Chains A and B, each alone.
Chain A
Amino acid sequence: MSDGVLEYTRKNAIRRRRIARLIIFGFTVAVLVSAHGTGFRIRDLYRGIPNIIQFLTEDLLPPRFSVWRRFLGPTLETIAMSYAGTFLSVVFAAPLGFLAARNVSPYPIVMQIARATAVFMRTIPPIVWALLLVSIVGIGPFAGTIALGLSGAGMLIKSYADSIEDIDAGQIEAVRATGAGTFAVMMKGVVPQFSPSFVSWSLYRFDLNIRSAAVVGLVGAGGLGFSLSTAVRLFRYQEAAVAILWILGLILAIEFVTAKLRGHLI
């Protein structure tokens, strides 16, 4: 600070500019390297355009709407998978969320373990869980449900814990000061404050599960995703198009419903 404010801030500004240049340079290099590594060529993309148009207009379109009924079952299966998956995650994540929250966790070591569990479960994407589980319990919605449940639990533990850490400590302290036991402090001081975020996060997870359900289905874990991948594998693209429309419609419908529910519950 002996340089005085002007000199100090000037040096800072120069340093910031240098860092910005470095970042832009690094970014450009990374793009070029990765393009090379993946065999990406603008020319190929350009040449492929007619193919893409042909695929869209002749193979995929028009959707064969006559088969729409065939996806009714898988749609219900997707909803059921997502719901059961969400339920699993919530049941698993609710206690761990409390243990992972710095302000209410009984011991620091327990908090670390709970946090580590969350990170571990979250780092593994649903499709990887699904792949593993399909090979363990076989093709079908059961594998999908567990996959959604596990990956969702990771996210929910962290979201719950973060929300709990944000609540007003004064309200907890006041309940504790009445001589309430630990569990009563949780239920009366923490839970009422936490419940809006709990509902919000859980519904959001249900939303996400509907999307993920389509993805995990691709590797054989049931639902609409499975129907879609089957149609594609049999080159029935016009049927696949119907499946895609179903998925879109379902995602929008569920988002609408959860938004309404959230409004009512909070």
Chain B
Amino acid sequence: MSVQPILSVTELKKTFPDGTRALRGVSLDVMPGEFLVMIGSSGAGKSTFLRCINHLFEPTGGRIVYDGRDISKVSGAKLRRLRRELGMIFQGYNLVKRLSTIENVLLGRLGYMSSISGALGLYTKQDRERAVELLIRVGLGEQRFKRADQLSGGQQQRVGIARAIAQNARLVLADEPIASLDPKASDTVMSYLHEVTREENITCIVNLHQVDYAKRFADRIIGLKDGEITFIGKPEEVTDKVIRDLYGEKGDQVDE
């Protein structure tokens, strides 16, 4: 028996109210445990794609099937249950800056709590222990009582990873997790993201600007251009021509 894809997207479309057609029919199957990297120039629709999956944006067409369930249209409690299984990592980290590092990791548990107990921060003892464990795992055990905004960018993004894992996410959506980081911090963050999701067998879709990182970490690379997939393949299949096609004639990933 063949393995079912954990995420199956068919003809996904997103047109914004202002008429921008950000996604023009994207179809993609993601297999369990895959580490997928999506590349493409600015405005290609990478963020829009991820945000349609967890309904931070409402898709305007197409079908999304996650774990055998049609999630093209979900709302209310169903949407909450979906979101807690999808960890999201943001370019701007989006930690709640005035909360402590540990509490930011604990935010990952909110999807499993009633709204009231979540609001009051009544996390269980196991949740707290797990959060500490996860922080140690991303090398931030000592920092757990620091306020989130006192951490460096790279450290904040590692907290972002811990928050996503704390959700017991089965699929992590990372939207340019290293775009605001220097090379050293980028290395660290990508390595942690790769390592932790491999160990926990979590599927991962990562948007990246940097082709070199994509080649280094990806199981498969998706090339997105003007809201359409123009390339799917193994890292070694990403030739200079592919990159030129994706990013225009300049032949490098630096755009704008």
Residue of B nearest to A189 (CB): B96
Inter-chain contact A177/B56, CB cutoff 8 Å? yes
Whether A174 contacts B81 in the complex (CB less than 8 A), given A184-B113, A188-B118, A189-B96, comes out as no
Which chain A residues border B109 with CB–CB below 8 Å? 178
A residues 216-230 touching B (CB-CB < 8 Å): none
Of A170, A171, A178, A196, which contacts B84 at CB under 8 A?
Answer: A178
- Contacts between chains A and B (CB distance < 8 A), count: 95
Q: Scoring B residues 81 to 104 as 1 if CB is less than 8 Å from chain A, else 0, what string do you get?
A: 111111010101011111100000
Residue of A nearest to B54 (CB): A177
Interface size for chain A: under 10, 10 to 19, 20 to 34, or 35 or more residues?
A: 20 to 34
Say yes or no for A54: interface residue by CB 8 A criterion: no
A253 CA to B12 CA in the complex, in Å?
Answer: 64
Looking at B112, B115, B163, the one whose CB has the most chain A CB atoms below 10 A away is B115
Say yes or no for B108: interface residue by CB 8 A criterion: yes
Of A183, A184, A192, which contacts B98 at CB under 8 A?
Answer: A192
Contact residues of A: prevailing secondary structure: helix
B residues 90-146 touching A (CB-CB < 8 Å): 90, 92, 94-99, 107-116, 118-121
Say yes or no for B80: interface residue by CB 8 A criterion: yes
Which chain A residues border B83 with CB–CB below 8 Å? 176-179
Say yes or no for A195: interface residue by CB 8 A criterion: yes
Of B84, B97, B115, which contacts A183 at CB under 8 A?
Answer: B115
Residue of A nearest to B83 (CB): A179
Inter-chain contact A171/B95, CB cutoff 8 Å? yes
Say yes or no for A193: interface residue by CB 8 A criterion: yes
A187 CA to B56 CA in the complex, in Å?
Answer: 20
Which chain B residues border A168 with CB–CB below 8 Å? 94, 97
The 26 sampled A-B contact pairs (Cβ below 8 Å) are A168-B97, A171-B95, A173-B94, A174-B94, A174-B107, A174-B163, A175-B110, A176-B83, A177-B54, A177-B88, A178-B84, A179-B79, A179-B111, A180-B110, A181-B115, A181-B118, A183-B119, A184-B113, A184-B118, A184-B119, A187-B121, A188-B107, A188-B118, A188-B121, A189-B96, A193-B97
- List A residues at the B interface (Cβ < 8 Å): 168, 170-171, 173-184, 186-189, 192-193, 195-196
